[in-house]
Structure 1
Amino acid sequence: MQPTPSTTPSAREPADPRRWWLLTLVAIAELMIILDIYIVNIALPSAQSALEIPDASRHWVVTAYAITFGGLLLLGGRVGDYWGRKRTFTLSLVGFGVASALGGAAWSPELLFAARALQGVFAALMAPAILSLLFVTFTDPRERAKAFGVWGAVAGTGSAIGLLLGGVFTEYASWRWTLLVNVPVAVALAVAAWWIVRESRTDGETRYDIPGALTSTLGVTALVYGFTRAESDGWGAPVTLALLAAGVALIVAFVAIERRSANPLLPLRVLTDRNRAGSFAANALFAGAIFSYGVFLVYYLQGSRGYSAIESGLAILPLTLAAIAFVSIGARLLPRVGPRPLTVGGFAIGAVGLGWLALIGEDTSYMAVVFPGLVLLGIAAGLVWPVLSNTALVGVQPRDAGAASGMVSVAQQLGGALTVAFLNTLAASIAEGRVERDGDAALAAGLIDGYAATFAVGGGLMLLGAVVSLLTITRRLPASEQDAELPDPELPAVNEEPAVAGARAA
């Protein structure tokens, strides 16, 4: 029996009256995911001391989360498409809260590592569901630009908020609260989501692509873990090379499987659109560049300048404020000027900001170097993050919303993991070279030289992102859903659950 022809949600029914409440929910959920990447980093020394975690194993507090999160994103996107985005979002919130409670109550290193891995699993379900819900709920282009603007503000400023909250909890409460704080938030969001969020899913053929799921999950996991091992063991270490080679081979196998699969995990049509492919590539470059500030500026402020955790969090707040201010500007300009000017301009501003941060020294004035660099980075984050994510989903057929959303997150995770691993190696080699040349007394200066070099490389990535955006992203996007990619009548529709739709109508 042939499936019902697909139509976009906007063509079938009026806008969801609760869409702005939904935006509030998913923005808080996105913030929770971003916070958990950074807030635990601040608490790591205290957790290591309390649980007596060996130095050789402490990286697993971060690595366990990164591996499961990055490795399961594509599968998580498809679960939302098939099982229901509301159900997936709600379940992921509950699971994330449970995992956070386990981590906060951990009495051994092994339990903390397992809880962090479990957090990553549910974050991999949650992140694509968030973007998919925004895509299928906000069907008006202008409203969608505003919604992705809010999402982008959270994505771009979550690191600064996480560093500040991590410092507050660590200094005035306990490292355990960096995890336990998620529990009441996740429970409250899950309850609210059950009443506010409208269900949507892909109907028709919904069998999972098991070979594709296995190869993509194992491939991305091997790449993320390989980048992580490169930080500690070096790029030439056998284990690093083996993991990276296995990851590449599995991704190649995944692409081959998807080309022949009747029901692929990641339909290759998602990647063939020029705007979408360019957005994925630019997302990876921007994530790598912005992560360089998030890691190495904290090292500089706390390690070289003696800032406390709270002081460093407060020092980074100008980025947050600038991003929030420019998100609204970008949202208003996107329907008028299109994505290319905003992304190219945002990348260029970000390059200047990171170049400015590369001027740091042992006695650098915060107001002269760090502050203006952070403001420029905040402007870039406010313009680039929401525009790229919106562009990556424009024209996607609703049945592929989860797959495309998963790819946005995969691009960001791989870009960030690869760049941070490479820049860690670069910074360490520069510091070691300075010590070899000038003696142990030059270690402090060598570390700062290494941090400055990472900012310079991040600026180069920003310039490369500007070039990619200029060459691949078109000047204008479709002004309406009717101008976007039309659904194929031979493929399944995306429908609301009748009970949910009826309840809303009532």
Structure 2
Amino acid sequence: MGTHRGRLVLATTIMGSGIALLDGTVVNVALPTIGRELGAQLSGLQWVVNAYALTLAALILLGGSLGDRFGRRRVYAVGVGAFGLASIACALSPSIELLVAARAVQGVGAALLVPGSLAILQASFHPDDRMAAIGAWTGLLGVASASGPVVGGWLVDLDWRWAFWLNVPLCAAVIVLASRAVPESRNAGADHSFDAAGVVLAAAGLGGVTYALTVAPEQPGVLSIGAGVVGVAALATFVQRERRTAHPLVPPRLFANRVFTAVNVVTLLVYAGLSAALLFVVLFLQVSGGWSALAAGAATLPLSVVMLLLASRFGGLATRHGPRRYMTGGTLVAAAGFVLLAFAPRHPSYVLHVLPGMTLVGLGLSMTVAPLTGTVLAAAPDELAGTASGVNNAVSRTAGLVAVAALPPLVGLGGAAYADPALLAPAYRAAMLVCAGLVALGAVVTVVGLAVGRERTEPKCAAQPHLDLTAR
């Protein structure tokens, strides 16, 4: 940690992961502006988010295994390069269809770089410094998360295309740093076979279901319904294949552990509620409240700041006292924050109607996220700790993918209705209450699934020299 090269390796991994994190925040803030300039319906804006999330969620486990096989630095650099090239395509997109296609390619690049980031830290640093390096990585990414809404809002007010142009020089810098500072590493004990058919089935399943949820409310017909049927069938086939193949993408024995299964269900509920809620908040503040993109983006800043300040603290408390009480309390506190946000008036005051709710959501997530991730890792066998982390990451992203596709039609919002303040306001309120219910349900699953005496929170995988960490 104290060497010049160590600092360069750390900077390289933080910059690459930070680009992907910042891009997602900026795109959420830019959606209303993109919709106006490209003449997009709500389904098109949903696909701007979902195309990226779909390819990332479907391929993130494969990205980690490719790094083991072909070299973590190489695959990381390829992912960053693909992300940068796709960003150029996004910035130049003349239509919503081309923008969605470019966002899908961005997701492929992110699927290669996201798991590679922590894997590089794991392979590059001395065992005594690994946890310190990972802690620095987490904290500095929190700074990127906190600054994302403000930077994004400022760029969108200038021109939404600058939100994508910003990625290009940053990606180039990461590739140069990686080639000069990051040592190449491979996992000599890794299985060089990977489940290509499983990857295809997972992508087809998620794509079909997401397409059906997004398109069917506006254009019900054979195509949308057929896509949903194909998607469900592909996911069912994926589950069956993973149970029978010799080289599963997701080893079924992971889910034989009650705690592992329960915490992944909590992850699904929490991130579904969070992803949909943040989408609705920025739409509501801009369309109904009349706020600028910069102001709407900055409104979410307390959430990131509170997490930056408190997440590591609650992680330490959960290690000493067990995660159950913090995950239960955290999900309930976050749900209360969503309820407060739900009852904001059509023209909200930031101090009275937005700040309290966002602060509560940030506090709740600070209490929840670190214990949740640590429990998932501790519940898995040592030899599957990296895979367990990748599974949890994929679950969180899939949750956001499905929630963003499904919730707008469920609350009666479709077509161009998102641009009508009178129609958006009641849909926003209903959506926020649904999100609060999802997160509160996570508290119930925590109480039932993490029975006293079954909790194990030691992050044992952190000290394993041959395991890849692909935590969020």
What are the residue-to-residue correspondences of 1:209-248 with 2, within 5 Å? 209-230=195-216, 232-233=218-219, 238-248=222-232
How well do the aligned residues superpose, as a CA RMSD in angstroms? 3.8
> Once the two structures are aligned, what percentage of the paired residues are identical?
31
Give 1:462's match in structure 2, choosing from 432, 439, 448: 439
Q: Is the 8 A contact 2:61 2:387 kept in 1?
A: yes
Instruction: Tell me if structure 1 keeps the 8 A contact 2:20–2:110.
Output: yes
Q: Which of 235, 245, 248 is matched with 1:261 structurally?
A: 245
**1:407 aligned residue:** 391
Asked which structure has the greater CA Rg, the reply is 1
**1:485-496 equivalent positions in 2, closer than 5 A:** 494=466
Q: 2:346 aligns with which of 362, 366, 376?
A: 362
Q: How far is 1:317 from its partner?
A: 1.5
Matched, 1:103 2:96: no
Question: What is the distance in 2 between the residues matched to 1:64 and 1:72?
Answer: 12
In structure 1, how many angstroms separate the alpha carbons of the residues matched to 2:42 and 2:361? 34
- Shift in Å, 1:119: 0.7
CA distance in 2, matches of 1:149, 1:278: 29
Distance in 2 separating the partners of 1:413 and 1:90: 22
Name the aligned partner's letter for residue 322 of structure 1. Answer: V
Structure 1 residue runs without a partner (length 5+): 1-13, 436-442, 488-492, 497-506
Equivalent residues of 1:152, 1:386 under 8 A apart? no
CA contact (8 A) 2:374 2:459 kept: no
1:403, 1:255 → 2: CA distance? 16
Picking from 136, 146, 150, the partner of 1:164 is: 150
- Correspondences of 1:287-436 after superposition (within 5 Å): 287-394=271-378, 396=380, 400=384, 403-428=387-412
Partners of 1:141 and 1:370 lie apart in 2 by 43
Contact 2:149-2:301 at 8 Å conserved across structures? no
For residues 480 and 411 of structure 1, what CA distance do their matches in structure 2 show?
19
- Cα distance in 2, alignment partners of residues 261 and 167 from structure 1: 47
Instruction: Give the corresponding residue for 2:187.
Output: 201
Contact 1:327 1:383 survives alignment (8 Å): yes
C-alpha contact 1:330 1:383 (8 A) present in aligned 2: yes
Deviations 1:387-427 (A, max 9, x none): 32233223645764553333223211221122233321233
State the alpha-carbon separation in 1 of the partners of residues 193 and 235 from structure 2.
Answer: 21
Equivalent residues of 2:54, 2:398 under 8 A apart: no
* Corresponding residue of 1:438: none
**2:77 maps to 1:90:** yes
Which of 264, 269, 272 is the matching residue for 2:256?
Answer: 272
- Partners of 1:375 and 1:142 in 2: how far apart? 33
Q: Deviations over 1:346-372 (max 9, x none)?
A: 111101111111221235443223111
Give, as a single letter, the amino acid of the residue that structure 1 aligns with 2:58. Answer: G
- Give me the whole-angstrom Cα distance separating, in 1, the residues matched to 2:269 and 2:49: 21
Q: Which amino acid aligns with 2:298?
A: L
Is the Cα contact below 8 Å between 2:266 and 2:442 reproduced in 1? yes
Tell me how far 1:23 sits from its aligned partner. 5.1
Offset at 1:49?
A: 6.3
Greater CA deviation, 471-480 or 291-300?
471-480
**Aligned match of 1:116 in 103, 119, 122?**
103
Provide the rounded CA distance (Å) in 2 between the counterparts of 1:392 and 1:141.
Answer: 23
- Hey, what does 2:449 align to over in structure 1? 472
SS at match of 1:199: coil
Please give the secondary structure, in 2, of the residue aligned with 1:263: coil
Whether contact under 8 Å (1:127, 1:406) holds in the other structure is no
Change in Cα spacing, 1:347 to 1:41, as seen in structure 2 (3 Å) is closer
CA shift in 2, pair 1:21/1:472, >3 Å: farther
Runs of 5+ unmatched residues, structure 2: none
User: Using the alignment, how far apart are the partners of 1:337 and 1:145 within structure 2?
Assistant: 22
CA distance in 1, matches of 2:240, 2:313: 42
Residue equivalent to 1:504: none
Taking the aligned partners of 2:127 and 2:48, their CA distance within structure 1 comes to 41
Q: CA deviation at 1:149?
A: 8.8
Q: Which amino acid in the other structure matches residue 248 of structure 1?
A: V
- Give the whole-Å Cα distance in 1 for the aligned partners of 2:139 and 2:446: 17
Distance in 2 (CA, whole Å) between partners of 1:260 and 1:214 is 16
Q: Is the CA contact (8 Å cut-off) linking 2:8 and 2:177 kept in structure 1?
A: no
Tell me which amino acid in the other structure corresponds to 1:310: L
Change (3 A) 1:445 1:205: closer
> Alpha carbons of 1:480 and 1:330: their partners in 2 closer, same or farther (altered >3 Å)?
closer
The one-letter amino acid paired with 2:115 is: P
CA distance in 1, matches of 2:136, 2:324: 16
For 1:38, which of 21, 25, 29 is the aligned residue?
25
Looking at structure 2, the residues matched to 27 and 340 of structure 1 have their Cα atoms a distance apart, in angstroms, of 30
Q: CA deviation at 1:82?
A: 2.8
Letter in 1 for 2:346: E
TM-score, L = length of structure 1:
0.78
1:170-190 CA distances to partner (integer Å, 9 max, x unpaired)? 223x32211111112222223
TM-score (norm 2): 0.83
Contact 2:341 2:357 in 1 (8 A): yes
8 Å CA contact retained: 2:323, 2:457: no
Q: Give the match for residue 192 of structure 1.
A: 177
Pairwise CA distance, 1:295: 1.1
Deviation, 1:128, is 2.7
Amino acid at match of 2:175: A
Structure 1 residues 280 and 133, CA, compared in 2 at 3 Å: closer, same or farther?
farther
Taking a change above 3 Å as real, the CA distance of residues 231 and 329 of structure 1, as seen in their structure-2 partners, is farther
Deviations 1:415-460 (A, max 9, x none): 112223332123326999xx9xxxxxxx755532221221111111
